Amino acid sequence: MMDADISAIGRHLKKHRAERGWSLDRVARECGVSKAMLGQIERGESTPTVSTLWKIAGGLRLPLSRFLVAEGSALQRPRSGLRHHDASGMIVTPLFAFDPALGFEMFVIELPRGTLSESASHAIGVIEHLIVLEGEMELRLDGEWQFLSAGEAVRFPADQPHAYRNQSRASARIHDLIHYPFSS
Ligand code: MN
């Protein structure tokens, strides 16, 4: 996550943990992320991957964008300063932060050729909508890879393990609209 504001992520984690009155042990149990890692993130010493952030967001029952953009932000175009690089090479950029009245957040995802990004289950009831803008990608659900090319879209329950990959020769660009069944 080269460009991300790491200390802001740590501050958000600390704030949401304090609101719940949860210890680092409790967050570790709820999220499936080690206490040591959580401590490093809170102190701004560690660079969480997108998949780790997803686990934290899920355990705290929060939208992913709570950790990636300022509260109340009304972004209308992706900004390079907000790009988050996954360990796999996937790049996630917030487009619209979560709005409780609307129940969704939206990201631009870039999948360079050769990318394989694995995701653990998100919180119960989370639904993703992938819309392929450019290039080709595959989505794995229930162990089955589903091919998607530009102009195609899929909606799927994301409270199960899933993965994205790009085995084509060119980068893929995708919109990911994520619905949450809660409004925090
Ligand atoms: Mn996902």
Higher model confidence: residue 138 or residue 69?
Answer: 138
* Most confident segment among 32-36, 60-64, 83-87, 96-100: 32-36
Note residues around ion ligand 1 (Cβ under 5 angstroms): 119, 158
Distance 22 CA to ligand 1 centre (A): 25
Q: What is the pTM (predicted TM-score) of this model?
A: 0.80
Q: Smallest Cα–Cα separation from 4: which of 98, 88, 69, 78?
A: 69
Please state which of the ranges 19-33, 69-83, 89-103, 121-135 shows the lowest mean pLDDT.
Answer: 69-83
Q: Smallest Cα–Cα separation from 64: which of 145, 177, 140, 173?
A: 177
Distance 122 CA to ligand 1 centre (A): 7
pLDDT at 3: 45
DSSP type of residue 165: E
Q: Give tens-digit pLDDT for 127-158.
A: 999 999 999 999 999 999 999 999 999 999 99
Domains of the chain (ranges; CATH) run 2-67 (1.10.260.40), 77-179 (2.60.120.10)
Q: Give tens-digit pLDDT for 158-172.
A: 999 999 999 999 999
Look at the block and give the residue holding tokens 């796999």. 88
- DSSP output for 68-115: TS-TT----S--GGG-EE-TTS-EEEEEEEEETTTTEEEEEEEE-TT-
The residues, ordered by sequence, that sit 6+ positions from 71 with a Cβ below 8 Å of its Cβ are 97
